[in-house]
Amino acid sequence: MKHFMHLIASITVLIILSGCLPTSVIDDVLIIEAEGVDYIGGNKVIGTVTMPNYVQSSNPGSSGAGLPTTASMIRYLSGTTYDGKSLVDRFQENGQRALRAGKLRVMLFNKGLAKHGLRKQIDLRNRDPEAPREMNLAIVDGSCKKLLTAIDYQTQIPIARYIQDMIEQNNKQNYPESTLESFLYAYYGDYMDPFLPVIRKSGDHLETIGLALFKSDKYVMELPSNKVFIFKMLFQKFDQGVYDFEFASQKHIALKNVHTKVSYKVKNGNSTSPDIYAHVSINAQIIQAYPKSINKTMGPKIEKKIEKHMAAQAEKLVHMLQKKQIDPLQLGQHVRSHTRHFDGKSWYDRYPNAHFHCTVDTTIIQTGISD
């Protein structure tokens, strides 16, 4: 009886406390799933938010006909505001229901804002307890508003989910992760710079066209899509992705990555010209090849060509990043972790003079039908 009375008392307290908390019923709110910000100059932006609006249908239909009982109706709000203002607060008075941002899937910025700087936007999201750390960020080549509000896409799923699915699918392939959490880590971290994918609307669909590289919060350059595999193999280990290798003029091989890993070593980390050594190991399948270009005896020769090509491309990429004085590959962190009493104050002056060396070991585990 005593335990029963304790149980009753506990339930009563929980009921009382739960009544003190604000609640949101899904039918009573507009849940924002995507935000887009276009810079128009003078510290002004055009903000756009999209949300599925769940409403009761008067025509539920039968046997798959008509609308479901609860139909998802895409809605959006758009307007001018100043850079750094919460779009939820900006549009709260415009929505027919209360706006909530707890289910944000994607946040987009046009290139104009990226070049101007994302500091205010990132600071806003970092302080916002409702902003999911796993939401995806991206740069839009064109207008965020047009991309988010277009009605001619092939898919009928909400635009936020379309963008999220595309970004996350690419993250499993050639592109590195681009969540709010990963951006904040590189933005606030020492000896590193952030990056984001670049997407655009192309006809009735979306496409990912490259990787935007930043110096702190400002856009510096775009790495084209055909260079992103090399970037990712230097950045992290991964198990998917496809790389197109032109082994002779107009003759291509498509490599499907089975497993790639990278390791680093550093010599003379505190010198004016540190030596950074990257070693990449790749297990791959050949999934497409120029007719009669691949057989068992040619395998080792192709591997050597791929290794030489990828190593050269990696060194060329790092040299370009050094010239731009950006470090999205976080090489500074590798030097720091391999150097006793690392001199961090002088690293940014020494980074452009560092010598980067790359070796690649490729193992082709399957060459296709010619086996």
Return all residues near 177 (Cβ < 8 A) that are at least 6 apart: 171
299, two tokens? 């395998």
C-alpha closest to that of 215 among 194, 239, 244? 194
* Confidence (pLDDT) at 195: 98
C-alpha closest to that of 280 among 363, 196, 191, 173? 363
* Confidence (pLDDT) at 51: 82
The span from the CA of 109 to the CA of 111, in Å, is 7
* Confidence (pLDDT) at 2: 46
What counts of helices (H) and strands (E) characterise the chain? 11, 14
119, two tokens? 């500091």
* Confidence (pLDDT) at 55: 52
C-alpha closest to that of 217 among 233, 193, 241? 193
Q: Which stretches of the chain are assigned E, i.e. beta strand? A: 29-31, 34-41, 44-56, 70-82, 98-100, 106-110, 136-140, 195-202, 205-215, 218-224, 242-248, 251-267, 275-289, 355-366
Helix (H/G/I), strand (E/B), else coil: 40: strand
Find residue 36's DSSP bridge partners: 48, 108
- CATH match for 237-371 among 3.30.300.210, 2.20.25.90, 3.40.50.300, 3.40.50.620: 3.30.300.210
Question: What DSSP state is assigned to residue 177?
Answer: P
* Confidence (pLDDT) at 140: 98
* Confidence (pLDDT) at 247: 77
- Cβ atoms of 71 and 57 closer than 8 Å: yes
Return all residues near 12 (Cβ < 8 A) that are at least 6 apart: none
Q: Environment class of residue 322 by beta-carbon count within 10 Å: exposed (0-12), middle (13-18) or buried (19+)?
A: middle
Where do the structural domains in the chain lie, given as residue ranges? 27-225, 237-371
**At what angle are helices 299-324 and 228-235 packed, to 10 degrees?**
90
The span from the CA of 30 to the CA of 26, in Å, is 8
The total of other beta-carbon atoms located within 10 Å of residue 201's CB is 18
- Give Cα separations from 124 to 119, 145, 204, 363 (angstroms): 8, 20, 32, 46
| pLDDT tens, the chain, 371 aa long | 544 454 455 455 445 544 444 444 445 677 889 999 999 999 999 999 998 755 544 444 444 444 444 444 557 888 888 887 777 667 666 655 666 666 889 999 999 999 999 999 999 989 888 888 999 999 999 999 999 999 999 988 899 999 999 999 999 999 999 999 999 999 999 999 999 999 999 999 999 999 999 999 999 999 999 999 999 999 999 998 999 998 777 888 899 999 999 999 999 999 999 999 999 999 999 888 777 666 666 677 888 999 999 999 999 999 999 999 999 999 999 999 999 999 999 999 999 999 999 999 999 887 655 44
Q: What does pTM read for this prediction?
A: 0.85
Return all residues near 301 (Cβ < 8 A) that are at least 6 apart: none
